[in-house]
Amino acid sequence: MTTTPEIKDESFPTHPPLAGVLGWPIAHSRSPLVHGHWLDRYGLEGGYIPLPVHPDNLENVLKTLPKMGFVGVNVTIPHKEAALRLSDSLTDRAALIKAANTLIFREDGKIHADNTDGYGFLANLLQEAPDWRPDQGPAAVIGAGGAARAVVASLLESGVPELRITNRTRLRADQIRAEFGAKVVVYDWAQAGNMLEGAHTAINATSMGMTGKAPLPVPLDALAPETLVTDLVYTPLMTDFLKEAQQRGCMVVDGLGMLLHQAVPGFERWFGQRPEVDEELRQAVL
């Protein structure tokens, strides 16, 4: 019996998938640790690398990476808005948030943009506080930057009855009210403390409280022990905001889990395995 030799088309080599994270600077990013942990844990072939990309080079880099075997990338500061503009298609949530953090390089050469920050935010709270539900009462969001927009979009999509928001620069909070609709109620920055009264969920979505920055200047007197309190800042893990809320009897959830959960959809898409966020991963990243 004769067998036909297998013909390999050398013009289409199959490589293990590559992904990475683009930022400027990028050395601080924990995403390579997260994806590296999952690649090892599931014994998958492929790689995930940090890529320092100056804003002037972003467009060229995004055109080149797919030709080098990359199946997609995460994008972080300062590229989240530019990456959205440079993409060919986008999810509804990325359009609402006006920023991308996950790009998929499709086989037809097109770039598809998503934003998984809101997904990560909700998944973290649901994992750490299993009895909490977003629709059980008003949410109070402190901050109106890119991360706050993701939080607002995810809470509204999950049926939050009222979304209170405050920001040092009021205009950004007013813009969120104009774009996201009537459930959004804007509070003056000077009245931020009042916003916490009767809140079911309270969120710091500013960068205040980060190591090297001043603590959040919002009085917590109106915070009741029933309020679930969370902080997007995760360096330090226990911010002064979380510590004070805990002293008042509130359940608190740190921001590290959001970082871990937001990575899940990209990893699944690029490497074909839905990864788990568990204590082992938290410890590896810490």
Interacting positions 108-147 with ligand NAP (CB under 6 A): 117, 120, 143-147
Quick check: 277 binds ligand NAP (CB under 6 A)?
Answer: no
Task: Please identify, using beta-carbon distances, which residue of 44 and 195 lies nearer to ligand NAP.
Answer: 195
Half-sphere exposure of 135 (CA within 13 A, CB side): 3
Catalytic residue, candidates 67, 80, 183, 243: 80
Residue 38 to residue 42: CA distance in whole angstroms: 6
Q: Residue 167 interacts with ligand NAP (CB under 6 A)?
A: yes
- Pick 55 or 249: Cβ nearer ligand NAP: 55
Sign of the CA dihedral 72, 78, 84, 88?
A: negative
Structure tokens that stand for 45 in this block: 């072939």
- The smaller minimum CB distance to ligand NAP, of residues 23 and 66, is found at 23
For helices 146-157 and 117-128, the axis angle rounded to 10 degrees is 60
Residue 234 makes contact with ligand NAP by CB under 6 A: yes
What strands lie across the sheet with 228-231, from one edge to the other?
184-187, 163-166, 139-142, 201-204, 228-231, 251-253
Q: Does 83 bind ligand NAP (CB under 6 A)?
A: no
d(CA 109, CA 269): 16
Q: Footprint of ligand NAP on residues 174-233 (CB under 6 A)?
A: 205-208, 210, 232-233
- Catalytic annotation present for 80: yes
Q: Which residues here bind ligand NAP, judged by CB under 6 A?
A: 117, 120, 143-148, 167-169, 172, 205-208, 210, 232-234, 255, 258-259, 262
